[in-house]
Structures are given as structure tokens and as C-alpha cells.
Amino acid sequence: MALGLVISQSATGTVACSSTIDIVVSTGQPSAPDVTGMTEAAAVAALDAVSDISSGNVTYEYSDTIAIGLVISQSATGTVACSSTIDIVVSLGDICDLNSDGSIDWEDVMLMGQNWQTAGPVGDCNGDGIVDLEDYSKLAAKWLK
């Protein structure tokens, strides 16, 4: 909405005497919604739905806490300059979830076993260049969590 125009108010119509009505006035700049926790497609759609901003680059990172396919972070939220692009980071899931099915279980152990004592990358949960007992310990600690 253009600069200086009222976007919304706290009440309309009949109100009690001595009521105070709050108003929200446009700063004339677009506001980027918080899309963290959304799926990539929903986040891109939500950003593109706001006029004067658009979705930007999508990058992918492993995350212990954010489920696979969901947005971990974004480059900006709230009021941004017109024509801003908002980049998002999408979760690849847990690095120990070797088959990327959203849970850490025997299938991942099997995959790790197939890559045992190799350089990975599948199975190298700690990224040290070898699939070994340290990786198994890390995977086991996350078993079915």
C-alpha cells in the first residue's frame, strides 16, 4: 500500500464510548512474510504473492533440527526495499539420514554399512572424509529420534 495510507484499524462500526481505535499506516514499502518452517514451494509462493518483492535464490543445507524440505532461514523479514528479492535456505534434513526419508533407522545403517571405510560422502555423518565408527556413533545417537 502507498506511503501514508491506512492499512487497517483495530475496530470499525459501533464501539463503546471513549474507545481508542488503533490504526496501521503504510510505510510505503513491502513487508516480507516469515516463511521459515514452510515447504520450499509454499515459501516461494508466499514471497511471490507480495507485490514489489519476489523470491530469490534457494540454497540447501543439512540440518539436525529442521525437517527435510522445510525453510531453515531467509535473507530478510519485515519491511524491505521495493523490488527486493528474498533468498531462502532449505533443509536437506539430517546428514545422518542417508536415504533422506525423514527418519534415521536401519535403512540408514545398511547404507552406512555399504560405504563402510570408504570416503563417503554417503555415510560420512561428521564430514571427516571416512565412514567409520565415529559416524556410526553419531547415527546411533539419533536413532529413531
Tell which one of 99, 122, 136, 142 touches Ca ion (CB under 5 A): 99
Residue 101 interacts with Ca ion (CB under 5 A): yes or no: yes
Tell which one of 37, 128, 137, 143 touches Ca ion (CB under 5 A): 128
Helical H segments across 53-116, by residue range: 106-114
Query: Closest Cα to residue 43, out of 31, 29, 58, 30?
Result: 58
**Cα distance between residue 25 and residue 62, in whole Å:** 40
DSSP run (H or E) holding 23: strand 23-25
Closest distance to Ca ion from the beta carbon of 141 (Å): 14
Choose the binding region for Ca ion from 3-11, 30-38, 57-65, 123-131 (rule: CB under 5 A): 123-131
Tell which one of 126, 136, 138, 142 touches Ca ion (CB under 5 A): 126
**37 torsion bin: left (phi>0), alpha (psi -120 to 50), beta (else):** left
By CB under 5 A, name the binding residues for Ca ion.
Answer: 97, 99, 101, 108, 124, 126, 128, 135
